[in-house]
């Protein structure tokens, strides 16, 4: 049965159905509906809810719950996510699973509360200090948001690494019908590293300070090998009308949804445009882009930022193909008509150049 829910509330319900038993949060717009949903639902579900004194405290409570063996989640928005970076780095270093939701705001500093994609680089490059990465999932509808939550918890447990769900105010606050029946039985991950008290077993310690530089080096390489495994096997993306396309729009999250609308309009005007939508922003679908570049040379990156993913597209193309970009930062919501107009103009200009 479908229920009409906001993205934030759907995310909370999906987390509980995915076996999340601990949620820690601090108020910040545009993700408050999630904290409020958890305040009500977590006690009903027998789980733990704490409104923490800060985002720093929340992420450290997540770390504590995770090291104690629970599936734990926190959520925030851009400025709050900056504060959580300390804890995210420790989670990665200690190899502890956690899910962190970022409903991104429109800019640096305080930013505004309107939909934006300004935290791509922070999310995909680790975000905090040290040599590490986080898996970054970017859904583009309320249903996909609900579907991706169990995936996020499974990936976190499978790789013992923090996973980021990257959304924005539009995804978090708009209401859409959502069906939770896709969430299957919770997988059981053996956790031989958690702290339960050394009852009839040797004591355990979880730490990230290794004074011996050789040990610390090996720990860094161990993490690196894990990140390579993730890059090799966890890339997710969606393609839309790319088989006969002459131009490929690359967009993620809510921007990809706007792009789909634009592509439908372009197709009506006989402009053969297609879409590549990265679902994992890290690991990035670089191989897929390289493969597409064998038969399509025209790439059009569209982001609700000044252009952050464009670097990854460039790296994937390794100098092949042409990249154009259209961005609307600051919380401005571009429309499909607007994007179609921009892509169309670009298409005819490049066609003219090609003919010459």
Partner 1 sequence: MKKIYTRPASMKDAHFHYCPGCGHGIINRLITEVIDEMGLRGKAICVAPAGCGMLVYNYFDIDTLESAHGRGAAVATGIKRVRPDNLVFSYQGDGDLAAIGTAEGFHAANRGELITVIFVNNGVYGMTGGQMAPTTLRQQVTTTTPSGRNPVSAGHPVRVCEVFSVLDGTSYLERVAVNSPSGIRKTKKAIAKAFEHQLNRTGFSLVEILSPCPTSWKMSPIEAFRWIDDVMVKQFPLGVIKEIKC
Site string for partner 1, 258-287 (x = CB under 8 A): ------------------------------
Tokens 């910040």 label which residue? 28
In whole angstroms, the minimum distance from the beta carbon of 23 to partner 1 comes to 11
In whole angstroms, the minimum distance from the beta carbon of 329 to partner 1 comes to 32
- Applying CB under 8 A, does 256 fall inside the site for partner 1? no
- Applying CB under 8 A, does 99 fall inside the site for partner 1? no
Site string for partner 1, 31-70 (x = CB under 8 A): -----------------x-x-xxx-xxx-xxxxxxxxxxx
User: How many binding residues for partner 1 (CB under 8 A)?
Assistant: 40
Please give the Cα distance from 157 to 159 (Å, whole number): 6
Site for partner 1 in 125-144 (CB under 8 A): none
β-pairing verdict for 280-282 and 298-303: unpaired
Q: Which of 211, 231, 59, 80 is nearest to 159 (CA)?
A: 231
* Near partner 1 by CB under 8 A: residue from 196, 233, 335, 349: 196
For partner 1, which is the closer residue by CB, 49 or 325? 49
For partner 1, which is the closer residue by CB, 54 or 335? 54
In whole angstroms, the minimum distance from the beta carbon of 47 to partner 1 comes to 9
CB 274 within 8 A of CB 343: no
Token pair, residue 287, equals 């191989």
Please give the Cα distance from 85 to 123 (Å, whole number): 10
Stretch that binds partner 1, among 85-93, 103-111, 291-299, 337-345 (CB under 8 A): 85-93
In whole angstroms, the minimum distance from the beta carbon of 165 to partner 1 comes to 20
- Applying CB under 8 A, does 110 fall inside the site for partner 1? no
Class of residue 120 by CB neighbours under 10 A (exposed 0-12, middle 13-18, buried 19+): buried
Q: Tell me phi and psi for residue 238, to 5 degrees.
A: -130, 140
Tell me how far apart the terminal alpha carbons of the chain are, to the nearest angstrom. 57
- Applying CB under 8 A, does 354 fall inside the site for partner 1? no
In whole angstroms, the minimum distance from the beta carbon of 110 to partner 1 comes to 20
In whole angstroms, the minimum distance from the beta carbon of 226 to partner 1 comes to 20
Site for partner 1 in 312-341 (CB under 8 A): none
Please give the Cα distance from 111 to 114 (Å, whole number): 9
Q: What is the DSSP secondary-structure string of 272-313?
A: -EEEEEESEEES--HHHHHHHTTT--EEEEEESSSSSTHHHH
Please give the Cα distance from 66 to 62 (Å, whole number): 6
Chain residues binding partner 1 by CB under 8 A are 21-22, 24, 48, 50, 52-54, 56-58, 60-70, 72, 86-87, 90, 94, 195-200, 203-209
């Amino acid at each position: 049965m479908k229920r009409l829910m906001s993205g934030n509330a759907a995310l909370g319900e999906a987390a509980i159905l995915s076996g999340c038993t601990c949620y820690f949060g601090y108020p910040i717009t545009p993700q408050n509906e999630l904290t409020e949903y958890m305040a009500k639902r977590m006690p009903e579900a027998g789980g733990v809810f704490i409104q923490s004194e800060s985002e720093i405290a929340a992420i450290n409570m997540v770390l504590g719950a995770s090291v104690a063996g629970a599936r734990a989640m926190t959520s925030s928005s851009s400025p709050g996510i900056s504060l959580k970076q300390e804890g995210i780095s420790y989670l990665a270093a200690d190899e502890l699973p956690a899910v962190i939701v970022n409903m991104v705001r429109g800019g640096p500093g305080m930013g505004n509360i309107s939909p934006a994609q300004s935290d791509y680089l922070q999310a995909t490059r680790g975000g905090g200090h040290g040599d590490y990465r986080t898996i970054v999932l970017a859904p583009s509808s309320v249903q996909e948001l609900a579907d991706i939550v169990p995936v996020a918890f499974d990936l976190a447990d499978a790789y013992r690494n923090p996973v980021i769900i990257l959304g924005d105010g539009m995804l978090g606050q708009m209401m859409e019908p959502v069906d939770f029946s896709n969430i299957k039985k919770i997988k059981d991950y053996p956790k031989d590293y958690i702290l339960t008290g050394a009852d009839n077993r040797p004591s355990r310690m979880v730490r990230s300070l290794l004074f011996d530089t050789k040990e610390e080096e090996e720990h860094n390489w161990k993490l690196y090998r894990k990140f390579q495994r993730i890059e090799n096997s966890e890339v997710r993306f969606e393609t839309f009308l790319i088989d006969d396309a002459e131009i490929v729009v690359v967009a993620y999250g809510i921007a990809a949804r706007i792009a789909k609308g634009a592509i439908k309009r372009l197709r009506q005007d006989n402009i053969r445009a297609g879409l590549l939508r990265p679902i994992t922003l890290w690991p990035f679908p670089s191989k897929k882009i390289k493969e597409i570049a064998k038969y399509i040379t025209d790439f059009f990156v569209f982001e609700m930022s000044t252009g952050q993913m464009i670097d990854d597209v460039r790296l994937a193309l390794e100098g092949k193909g042409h990249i154009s970009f259209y961005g609307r930062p600051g919380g401005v919501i571009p429309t499909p008509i607007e994007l179609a107009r921009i892509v169309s103009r670009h298409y005819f200009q490049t066609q003219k150049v090609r003919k010459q």
